[in-house]
Amino acid sequence: MRLSVIGCGYVGLVTGACLAAAGHEVTCTDIDTERIRRLQAGEVPIYEEHLEEILKSAREAGRISYTADAGEAIRAGDAIFICVGTPPKESGEADLSAIDQVARQIAEQARSPKLVIEKSTVPARTGLELQRALAAYSSGGKSTFRVASNPEFLREGTAVGDFFHPDRIVVGVEDESAAADLREIYRPILERKFHCPVHKGTCPTSHDAAFLVTTINSAELIKHASNSFLALKISYANVIADLCERIGADVKEVTHAMGLDPRIGGQFLSAGLGFGGFCFPKDVQAFIHLAASVGVDFDLLKATERVNKQRIDRFLEKVRKALWVVRGKHVAVLGLAFKANTDDIRFAPALEVVKRLLEEGAIVHATDPEAISKAKTLFPRVTYHEDPYEALRGADAALVCTEWEIFRNLDWKRAKPLMARGLVVDGRNLYSPKHMRELGFEYYSFGRA
């Protein structure tokens, strides 16, 4: 099929690349003309595993193209995926002005009927507003567009794998024809007729995706309800960690045992510095706001958000308690990205940690496998090191902020003599307290003795 993708951020670029890899003809556009220029030149503006290789082969096969002219992109596709940002306003409400802009462009630029698909995370009822906007901006006030919602469940870092091996594909539609078109778009994925860049043709067969057809309102709600529930799970584990510290229990033992119950599940129960990124924090806020706007008080989510914010305070309390005086201390921050396997630092807990350490007068050295160049623009006063052992050289404390494998496998025996003081405050519970103490470290983590 001929598809258009509006917005070449994480979601748009991964969606466009994967749909092209699955055999469709994709035209991508973005208001960021520099980004389009780089994509046209074969550069990949974000770090995401496998993205570069699938973009390259789609490009060589002539299945993906980029244009800064939104009108051209809109006219090229029979179906248009809207993948623009919906950032939070001051109030927490999602800012939908980019969606509105795109609706206007589609209505003005399209020359034939289109299926307009919301992929951006939006509050419930946005589809209805989108349909109204498309009609309002169309000549004669009558829309020839069908609207659908197709939320994404891609995690940064594993987005390409998630796209090709989804648990579920949710399509919110108003009529059967839109569901049929979306089924056709996802047919290569549902029938596994694509070359998987992750497994190279050896994909596990046990995992069949459910194709769920719902109303548009339900599809939109499914997305917010899913992300918020995962965030809630993390905050729950973090409160259990606080309890473990007071009582003298081990949060890893507790959450491991809890997770073996399939009704609970073991994922997203890792206690630590809490959740960050451009999805959970803003989606939780937007969901609280949406609930309030229809008279539902989502107290549970307000607590989720509050607990998450407290993680940074708790972490810094541990740092202060261990260091006594923070001012003038050399602190090595291990990890800047909001989680492992991404260069994304948006709403990363590590950034708040760095900011507060600088405010308190610490001398901050930082390392991250992918996120240094992005962090540099925010914190020019920090000294950055590609090599974690260099960040640790002369440090009074090592603070683990992101769960990168390279940090999990760090040779602390080698690091110890490099450091001025053997102190590790682990915000991601990566190491065994017993092992670290055996190596002679003063070691603090979350929810463990």
Window contacting ligand UGA (CB under 6 A); options: 211-219, 271-279, 375-383, 389-397: 271-279
At 411, phi and psi to the nearest 5? -90, 95
Contacting range for ligand UGA; rule: CB under 6 A; set: 37-45, 151-159, 169-177, 432-440: 151-159
CA atoms within 13 A on the CB side of 273: 31
Strands 423-426 and 25-29: unpaired
Among the listed residues 67, 270, 304, 341, the single contact to ligand UGA using CB under 6 A:
270
- C-alpha span between 379 and 297 (Å, rounded): 38
- What is the Cα–Cα distance from 77 to 28, expressed in whole angstroms? 10
Helix (H, G, I), strand (E, B) or coil at 265: coil
Please state the closest distance from residue 353 (CB atom) to ligand UGA, in A. Answer: 13
Residues 6+ apart with CB under 8 A from 132: none
Q: Which of 25, 30, 118, 156 lies at the binding interface for ligand UGA (CB under 6 A)?
A: 156
Token pair, residue 317, equals 């309390």
Which residue lies nearer to ligand UGA by CB, 63 or 252? 252
Q: Is 346 in the site for ligand UGA (CB under 6 A)?
A: no
Residues in the interface with ligand UGA (CB under 6 A) total 21
CA atoms within 13 Å, Cβ hemisphere of 342 = 20
- Alpha carbon of 82 to those of 142, 236, 403: distances in Å? 20, 33, 32
Residue pair 288/302 in contact (Cβ under 8 Å)? The answer is yes
Q: Does 339 bind ligand UGA (CB under 6 A)?
A: yes
Provide the strand spans (E) within 262-408: 330-334, 363-367, 383-385, 397-400
Closest CA to 149 of 129, 177, 175, 120: 120
Q: Does 404 bind ligand UGA (CB under 6 A)?
A: no
Q: For residues 99 and 81, what is the distance between their CA atoms, to the nearest angstrom?
A: 11
Q: How far is the CB of 2 from ligand UGA (least distance, A)?
A: 26
Beta bridge partners of 410: none
> Does the footprint of ligand UGA cover residue 272 (CB under 6 A)?
yes
165 binds ligand UGA (CB under 6 A): no
Q: How far is the CB of 7 from ligand UGA (least distance, A)?
A: 13
Indicate whether 335 belongs to the interface with ligand UGA (CB under 6 A): no
Given 121, 150, 228, 285, the residue binding ligand UGA (CB under 6 A): 121
Among 47, 275, 379, 431, interactor with ligand UGA by CB under 6 A: 275
CB of 99 within 8 A of CB of 51? no
Instruction: Give least dist CB 140 to ligand UGA, A.
Output: 37
Sheet bearing 330-334, strands edge to edge: 383-385, 363-367, 330-334, 397-400, 423-426, 442-444
Contact flag: residue 154 with ligand UGA (CB under 6 A): yes
Residue 229 touching ligand UGA (CB under 6 A): no
Query: Which residue number, 93 or 174, has a Cβ lying nearer to ligand UGA?
Result: 93
DSSP string, 63-108: -EEEES-HHHHHHH-SEEEE-----B-TTS-B--HHHHHHHHHHHH
- Give me 351's structure tokens: 């950034």
Region of 39-47, 73-81, 208-216, 274-282 interacting with ligand UGA (CB under 6 A): 274-282
Which of 85, 274, 422, 433 binds ligand UGA (CB under 6 A)? It is 274
Give the nearer residue to ligand UGA in terms of CB position, either 27 or 121.
Answer: 121
Please identify which residue in 100, 101, 153, 192 interacts with ligand UGA, judged by CB under 6 A.
Answer: 153
Q: Does 264 bind ligand UGA (CB under 6 A)?
A: no
Q: Using the rule CB under 6 A, is 369 a contact of ligand UGA?
A: no
- Catalytic (active site) residue 18: no
Q: Is 244 in the site for ligand UGA (CB under 6 A)?
A: no
- List phi, psi (to 5°) of 204: -65, 135
* Marked catalytic residue, from 18, 28, 279, 401: 279
Q: Does 123 sit near ligand UGA (CB under 6 A)? A: no
Place of tokens 């409400």: 93
Q: Among 5, 36, 279, 436, which residue sits at the site for ligand UGA (rule: CB under 6 A)?
A: 279
Locate 158 and state its tokens: 């594993």
Binding segment (CB under 6 A) for ligand UGA, from list 39-47, 130-138, 193-201, 267-275: 267-275
Which parts of this chain interact with ligand UGA (CB under 6 A)? 121, 152-156, 227, 230, 234, 268-270, 272, 274-277, 279-280, 338-339
Active site residues: 279
